[in-house]
Amino acid sequence: MSASGSVMDGGRYASCCRLILLLLAFVDISLSVATVEVDRSFRIDYDNNQFLLDGAPFRYVSGSLHYFRLPRAYWRDRLRKMRAAGLNAVSTYVEWSQHEPEPNVFNFSGELDLPYFIQVAQEEDLLVLLRPGPYICAEREMGGLPSWLLNKNPDMKLRSNDSTYMEYVERYLNHLMTVVQPQLYGNGGPIIMVQIENEYGSYEACDKNYTAQLRDIVSSFVNDAAVLYTTDGGAVGYLRCGKVPGVYATVDFGSGGDVNAAFAAQRIYEPRGPYVNSEFYPGWLTHWGENLQTVGADGIVKTLEEMLTVNASVNFYMFFGGTNFGFMAGANYGDKYQPQLTSYDYDAPLTEAGDLTDKYSAIREAIGKFLPLPNITVTASAPKGDYGTISLAPVASLLDLSVREGLGTYPVRDLFPQTFEALNQQYGFVLYETIVTEPATDPALFSIPDISDRGTVLVNNVPKGILSRADKITSLPISVQVDSRIQVLVENQGRINYGSKINDFKGFISNATLGTKVVEDWTMTGFPLNDISAISNMSTANSNFTFSAPAFFKGTFTLPLSDSTPLDTYLDPTGWGKGVAFINGFNLGRYWPVLGPQVTLYVPGCYLKPAPEVNELILFELELAPAPHYNVTFVTQAYLNKVPPTSNAHHRSGHSMDMGTQQLNQGPAPEMEREHVSVVLT
């Protein structure tokens, strides 16, 4: 090798070495940068009274949306509309009763696929505030607690350190947190906050051992991957029992609330840290028989801007309300039992069908003063299906043998009537029957001092009247003879979801009397109505049918060929009394147009079949059918504000008003006009 060649080779070698060293240094720097990028964290900066997201100051403006109140097919649409409004997070409860419908039988699939919902939220650039309960209130049946708890131990002390209660709570939380743990923020997911219990400071138990146990169970999964928090009314009295050591305490209040006073109460229990309103109310809940509750946009915007000005984080409850499909609407108990509507529209910024309202636009504009608005295109209002009038035909009375065999549970006979819970039935109806064995006065007073919730009383299959817990009607005179059959069809109208009466047993809670004698020897048949395929298979050829006792009606229809994708619509049962509607086997919920204020039922287009397939509508009517034409109509507008016959427009009883936290405007707000925004937002 020549000398010159050796020098050149040596130079090339040195250059290659330098290049390799530079590349290694670059790789090392790149790896360091990558390490920083994946070092995700969400924590509280107590020194500066703020949250830190990946080390940078952060505050969230979030909205509540409950995945279990909305078809899975629409999750992305609603979440995208929330992001388009300027929100950067979504809050959702987790409903224990739905995810564990039977003891140790868990369901996180299909319409209850919580991990997928969280994934979609992340894909839509939303962080997640998770509220796993076990108690959630949420105006849901028994506050989200499974009613089978009352079967396991009727004396169980709910929301306490009761050992039998905690056995099931711990199993549920361990299962749930295992499912969602990978989606905590520190683990790469969007969940930044996990709530411990729910407004526990408003519950009489005030069991600190209980909330500490919940904290320990959840924190063992969370570690530092998210922030644990509580929420309670914006007053010291609620925080006293709601605050959990080691868990960040937040408050809730609505428009018209005193922002300074509420955050001052938070400061007593959290001297440092960010201000947080975890439930800011842009609407309100409504019970059957009340005027529709509404909240005006001006007050919402004013209070929102007050909070954002002091760098508070805010969660709207609800930003989208949705629907209590099936039998999942709960009830309150103020001075009486108050069942809630099927609709959970809540006068929210997004309607029950996901349309934008003027309130949405006003909130978006206010948020834009403090946070950058994303460049997202959303449709303000989707067209609705004007599917016309559908003729129904009678199928059979609930009392018919064919219906009993097709829908009823195996009859239970006992000396005294049993509750739904003792019969291991959660929802729907139970038929109680007994045979009169001794002569009675004519008429004799038939009484059930404690009936829960509404009973249709019949003698030999003929209706005689209604007993009502809500109206405190517990007796009526009936004429019977020896061998007469007394029947009472009892409806569970929703278990209480707030306060001290959440252990809400259904059915006969006391014995019945006829005259002065206790009635004995009862046969009980359950009708949970979770599968009505037996009715689908029955003929409607009974042309001589005359409605009297509770009965099923059925009709079929085909959508226009032009609707290749079925549109959302509303079922209008005007002329009917009270009952339950099913579309293609799906339980749309309870209707009660004679009382109101809700008249129409929301029908998601995703539950309809396009032409040429045939759709089936079934009504289970309890009290009134519009003979001779058993018709219903599909309409394009919701009708939720009928004035009830004996309404109280100023009555706003419910969990948050019971808490006395100035959460609403003074007096009823004028009903907000719901004209759909006609432009596409960008």
DSSP 640-669: --PPPTT--TT---SHHHHTT---S-SSPP
Q: Residue 459 phi/psi, 5° resolution?
A: -125, 120
- Smallest CA-to-CA distance from 620 within 416, 440, 427 is with 427
Amino acid at residue number 317: Y
- Smallest CA-to-CA distance from 364 within 665, 668, 63 is with 63
Q: CA gyration radius for the chain?
A: 29
The 10 Å CB-count burial string (b at 16+, else e) for 623-637 is bebbeeebbbbbbee
Report the SS3 class of residue 26. helix
From residue 145, alpha-carbon distances to 98, 149, 172, 585 in Å are 9, 8, 11, 25
102 part of the active site: no
Helix (H) or strand (E) holding 11: helix 3-38
Q: In terms of C-beta density within 10 A (0-12 exposed, 13-18 middle, 19 or more buried), how is residue 495 classed?
A: buried
- Smallest CA-to-CA distance from 486 within 588, 576, 417 is with 417
DSSP 111: G
From residue 628, alpha-carbon distances to 546, 572, 580, 618 in Å are 9, 18, 20, 17
DSSP 442: S
Q: Indicate which residue of 95, 139, 270, 279 is catalytic.
A: 279
Count of residues in the chain: 682
Rounded to whole angstroms, the Cα distance separating 107 from 105 reads 7
Around Cβ 90, how many Cβ atoms within 10 Å?
30
Helices marked H in 258-320: 259-269, 297-309
Q: Indicate which residue of 95, 139, 199, 270 is catalytic.
A: 199
CB within 8 Å of 226: residues ≥ 6 apart: 42, 130, 184, 185, 186, 191, 192, 193, 194
Biggest CA–CA distance in the chain, Å, is 132
- Smallest CA-to-CA distance from 495 within 212, 149, 109, 45 is with 149
Asked whether the beta carbons of 193 and 129 are under 8 A apart, the reply is yes
279 part of the active site: yes
Give the up-direction half-sphere exposure of residue 630: CA atoms within 13 A in the CB hemisphere: 22
Q: In terms of C-beta density within 10 A (0-12 exposed, 13-18 middle, 19 or more buried), how is residue 245 classed?
A: exposed
Asked whether the beta carbons of 390 and 633 are under 8 A apart, the reply is yes
In DSSP terms, which residues pair with 287 in a beta bridge? Answer: 340
- Smallest CA-to-CA distance from 677 within 375, 357, 453 is with 357
From residue 247, alpha-carbon distances to 95, 242, 243, 269, 526 in Å are 22, 10, 7, 11, 44
Tell me the two tokens of residue 61.
Answer: 């403006």
- Smallest CA-to-CA distance from 526 within 418, 630, 636 is with 418
Q: Which residues are catalytic?
A: 199, 279
